[in-house]
Amino acid sequence: MGYEFIEGNEAIARGAIKAKCDFVASYPITPASSILHYLLRLVPEVGGIAIQAEDEIASMGFCIAASMAGRRVLTSTSGPGMSLYSENIGLAIMGETPMVIVDVQRQGPATGSATKGAESDIQFTRWSTSGGLPIIALSPATVGEAYELTYIAFNFAEKYRTPVFILTNKEIGVTKESVSLDSIKLPPLVERKRVPTGQDRYFPHYFESAEEVPAISDFGGEYVARFTTSTHDKTAYLTTKPEIIQEMIDHYAAKIDRAADDIALVKEDLEEGADILVISYGIISRSAAVAVRRARAQGRKVSSLVLQTLWPVPEKVIESAMCGVKKVIIPEMNMGQYLVEVERLAPPEVEVVGVCKMNTTLVSPEEIIERGGLL
């Protein structure tokens, strides 16, 4: 088995190509720029277009339209770019556009520390756009997972016709690791459901039950296609009828929320009789792994959940793992952005402790043990 020594950003680019990504538009930003650099070279090799856009708004605009014309699209940025992405994220939700959005998070707010890591955008990603409708977000912990989850993000995007976010971190994006990408097992590639040929006409948002994901006909395909930012019916014509508007809103929410179990990627390491549960995600889950191992070596009974899916919140797995524990510890490189999600799920008798730090440095295993009260 052969190894490579590559950074997380390269793994994301390679995962995208593995997922048959053939359209990329991004604007340079530290620490995400190298994703664009890799893809500018890799995408034309597979017959696709990769372009540096004039800003993050244009990056999103190019990608949304290219996706509706049948391309498998990715765009990448960091926190300040996410602010500009937010304008078009709502459009992608409204038009049910499959797309992968990578956020290599850095220390915010504002320009913050451009070259330093953080998990600044966990809640921003969920609530970035008007309307508050659900999106999907995945968080890799290693360079290998950056590859794997980018590939899976394309599958989710195409399957659910939705923007899917990769919430990575400078600490993975520009850290090199020894990894064997070829040995990573990937699920089969998912293509978007397309409208069969020979129909009378095309309904861009056709569904029978609210959670059903409508089939697409690409712009330039067999049918005349329509796309609109405005409230619309299943034909994508503007509507002002409250009952139809509500039906569409219910549909956008249901297709993600009711698929939460399918989207939930969680690594469970549960110990019988544990009184402490550590819930972690991203780069800090690796500090948590060290902390949990040390605690167990000292005879402490500890369970661990590592969340690869952050949105929608894998509520069932979290609730089930919290059964019987006295304390839940959540270490994060922010001021407790996921803590609030766990707090709302925790039974009243369970103590929820955040180990929060937002000073550009990793939360160390020692900090989890000491500040979390793991030992």
Q: Give ∠ CA 364-150-339 in degrees, rounded to 5.
A: 40
Smallest gap, in angstroms, from Cβ of residue 178 to other proteins? 5
Q: In this complex, which beta carbon is closest to other proteins, that of residue 258 or of residue 300? A: 300
Within 73-224, residue ranges assigned H as helices are: 79-94, 122-126, 143-160, 170-173
Q: Scan for tokens 């005879």, then name that residue.
A: 299
Residues 177-236 contacting other proteins, CB under 8 A: 177-178, 180, 182, 219-230, 236
Smallest gap, in angstroms, from Cβ of residue 112 to other proteins? 14
CB 93 within 8 A of CB 131: yes
Residues near other proteins (CB under 8 A), total: 68
Strands 99-107 and 113-117: antiparallel
Q: Scan for tokens 């919430």, then name that residue.
A: 167
The reply on whether position 340 binds other proteins by CB under 8 A is no
Q: What is the rounded CA–CA span in Å between residue 93 and residue 160?
A: 11
- Residue 350 burial class via C-beta count within 10 angstroms: exposed 0-12, middle 13-18, buried 19 and up: middle
SS3 state at 332: strand
Smallest gap, in angstroms, from Cβ of residue 34 to other proteins? 12
The reply on whether position 330 binds other proteins by CB under 8 A is no
204 preceded by a cis bond (ω within 30 of 0) = no
The reply on whether position 65 binds other proteins by CB under 8 A is yes
The reply on whether position 289 binds other proteins by CB under 8 A is yes
Query: Both tokens of residue 1?
Result: 């088995």
Q: What is the rounded CA–CA span in Å between residue 41 and residue 45?
A: 7
Residues ≥6 apart with Cβ < 8 Å to 232: 205, 238, 239, 248
Smallest gap, in angstroms, from Cβ of residue 317 to other proteins? 22
Smallest gap, in angstroms, from Cβ of residue 292 to other proteins? 10
Q: In this complex, which beta carbon is closest to other proteins, that of residue 55 or of residue 191? A: 55
Residues 351-370 contacting other proteins, CB under 8 A: 361-362, 364-366
Near other proteins by CB under 8 A, which window of 100-108, 123-131, 172-180, 329-337? 172-180
Smallest gap, in angstroms, from Cβ of residue 171 to other proteins? 7
Binding footprint of other proteins on the chain (CB under 8 A)? 1-5, 23, 25, 30, 41-42, 44-45, 49, 51, 53-55, 57-58, 60-66, 68-71, 87-88, 91, 114-115, 171, 174-178, 180, 182, 219-230, 236-238, 283, 286-287, 289-290, 361-362, 364-366
